[in-house]
Structure 1
Amino acid sequence: MGKSVMLTYALWVVGGPFGLHHLYLGRDNHALLWMLTLGGFGFGWIREFLRIPAYVREANQDSVEDRRRPTNLPPLHPVRFIGQACVGIYFGTVAMIGLNSLSFFYLIVLPISVAVGVHLVSNVGQQTSDLQKTLTACLVTSSLLYGSAFAPLPISLAATVTAAQHRRFKPPRSPRSTQTLAPRLFRLTLALVAFSAPLGFCIFHNTTATLYYLSDCIAALLDFFWFVPWLRHMLESILLMPYRILCAVTGGGYYEETWRKVLEILLREYTEREKDALRVLSLHTDASLEEINQGYRKLVKIWHPDHNPSTEAEDVFLKIQQAYELLQRWHRPRHSK
């Protein structure tokens, strides 16, 4: 039985960001991509309003026994190319958040994660690519960028170019090979679990580290535009927009304070704990790294147990040491003035 355009549109409206209409059409790779990215970060789902009739035609043609596909090279579509790069970066970033503590992360885990993201987009629709060559490009590029926080970007670009060079049409599917819904859902569930398990573990058991990694990424992105002050200011305004809207709607309160604490971390502003550390060192909130070092050395001379025989010297010195180490972690080289 052929697929219905009207039913496909209905599923697109009801569960489009989760790929429900693609699941109906037998486009499992597309459905999985939508589940993992919430409809291509929202943009892909909206764009599909005009693409659904073509998807239905492809699904109905695949149900014909003598269906043939071209043997020539598929056209290079910019949307697919951009999608491969974005999803590769997305998969790589998720891996860095959840699995970067592994000793072999940059040599194995990160390149595999990016390659899977790029190859998933390559397999959407009637096209596919050479996974082995895509993975090889990721492995080579990742080894050259070992330890870099920006590694997912060049790795994904290298994989995207490689996948585009080796793109081809999928062989036609035989109606007899069409599987029932149960095994298809089982495979999709396994893929979802494999993608979300590391990230879920990191969020629930290492929330602070997750937020600080995100803050590092955002701060690095903002610092990249230091030479264009107006663009940096615009990006900061966009990040602060939810907080300002919340203030305007609620007029303040508990939720505003909670959101503000999250923004303090994401925008690399001082948190309450870091403000306490500044007070321990008798410093103001805009103290530079040099001033922090000077304040620390000055207090160490006063409170070091070897120089101060008082009973409280050891406790005070410990607080000074902890405050200094906390501020040192915050003041990365890119924050130095």
Structure 2
Amino acid sequence: MAKSLKKAYFIWLFGGLFGLHHFYLKRDKQAFIYLTTFGGFLIGFLRDIYRLPEYVREANEDAVYVEKLKKQQEQLKTPLFLTSRFIGSIAVGSLFGYLTRNSINITDSETEYLWAETLARFLSPLIVSLVVYLIGTEGPIKCSFKWPLLGAYIALAIDALRKTTSNFTPALLGSILLNWNLEWDFDYFDRRKNKKLFKRIIYFSIGLTIFASILGLFIWNNATLESDGKKITLKEYFIKLYNTEEMKKLREVFSMLWNFYKAHGIKRLINHFFYGYDPEAIAHAYKVLELNERSTQQDIDQKCRLLSRKWHPDKYKDFEKKQNAEKIFMDIQASCNLLSEHRRNKSDQNKKSEM
């Protein structure tokens, strides 16, 4: 289906910062870079104002565009050096290298520090070379991935000799080797025709998942906020939050709901959760505890303690008996929680009605 220039500009206007117009034109590599850099640091987004017509002609395999491309391929053995792509690949590659290197948590432990530092050093050039490759090979040009990868790891060796760490050098050498080995891609249009939307979405999702993981880890390990007058990382804050009394109570509530679900199923859990009262579940709970509606809270507590001791899984050595005891024990715990909560709710409702 032919691509519309008007539609491309419309998509550019409302989704261009996220690369949607490039995805529409099957320029998936460029779409991914735009999505992860907010429209190529806004510069690429604005540049597309006058570049879009050519992109649409390429997508439609316009006769004039194809003829011009064929003449270029006949006259030039290799594609022209594009300064904008070269600078863009260095800038974005350096950014991704920085994010990757700093996304891995470096701890105070000597052994963990060594492993984390080694992983950061070797993973960063790989991500940089991938970014350089994506930017440098969009369109009817190609290059083997080994060249930007080789350039990035040569930079790693140079940094090791100089005892420095750099995000710029891997991106620079990777971009130089890629541009040095660029070739015309004579099968470009045939491959574009065979691109299935589902497969494109899968590849795009994989790339986005990798980026989101790197960015998420970077924020997790480096973002700081103020707590009790001290600056702590986001990771430290959530660890501190996790150990508060409120979170412990919340975990207990979720544990209770989970036990109730395993004992009574999803339908009763929904009834209990949304409506606060499930006659069948209440009746089942009384049956499990061998009690009735006239039983007091004291009766419930006593029966719960008695049955919990009787059916505690640790008392059983035989595997089958232990499994059976676990099921009964969970059913008892869920029933105890349900009846205690049910009685509290009834008590609260009675107090409100008396007021």
TM bin (shorter chain): 0.5 to 0.7
Cα displacement (A) at 1:38: 1.3
Identity %: 28
Q: 1:28 is matched with which residue?
A: 28
- The gaps in structure 2 that reach 5 residues or longer are 107-115, 232-355
Q: Which amino acid aligns with 1:151?
A: S
Size of the aligned set, in residue pairs, is 214
Q: Secondary structure of the equivalent of 2:134?
A: helix
Q: What amino acid does structure 2 have at the position aligned with 1:17?
A: L
> Counterparts in 2 of 1:1-337, with a 5 A limit?
1-61=1-61, 69=70, 70=73, 72-99=77-104, 101=106, 102-105=116-119, 107-146=121-160, 150-172=165-187, 173-174=189-190, 177-204=193-220, 206=221, 210-211=222-223, 273=230
Amino acid at match of 1:74: P
Change (3 A) 1:124 1:191: same
Distance 2:142 2:181 in 1: 9
Residue 61 of structure 2: SS of its match in structure 1?
Answer: helix
Tell me, yes or no, if the aligned pair for 1:62 and 1:174 is still in contact at 8 Å.
no
- Helix, strand or coil for the counterpart of 1:61? coil
Tell me if the contact between 2:104 and 2:120 (Cα under 8 Å) persists in the aligned partners.
no
Q: 1:273: Cα distance to partner?
A: 4.3
Provide TM-score, normalisation by structure 2: 0.54
Structure 1 residue ranges (4+ consecutive) displaced by more than 6 angstroms after TM superposition? none
Amino acid in the other structure paired with 2:41: F
| Distance in 1 between residues matched to 2:28 and 2:195, nearest whole Å | 11
Q: In 1, Cα distance between the equivalents of 2:22 and 2:45? A: 11
> Hey, what does 1:317 align to over in structure 2?
none
Distance change >3 Å, CA 171–CA 99, structure 1 → 2: farther
Larger fraction in helix: 2
1:273–1:86: structure 2 CA closer, same or farther, 3 Å change rule? same
**Mean Cα displacement is larger for which, 104-113 or 131-140?**
104-113
Counterpart of 1:167, as a letter, is: L
Higher Cα radius of gyration: 2
RMSD: 2.9
The residue identity in structure 2 corresponding to 1:198 is I
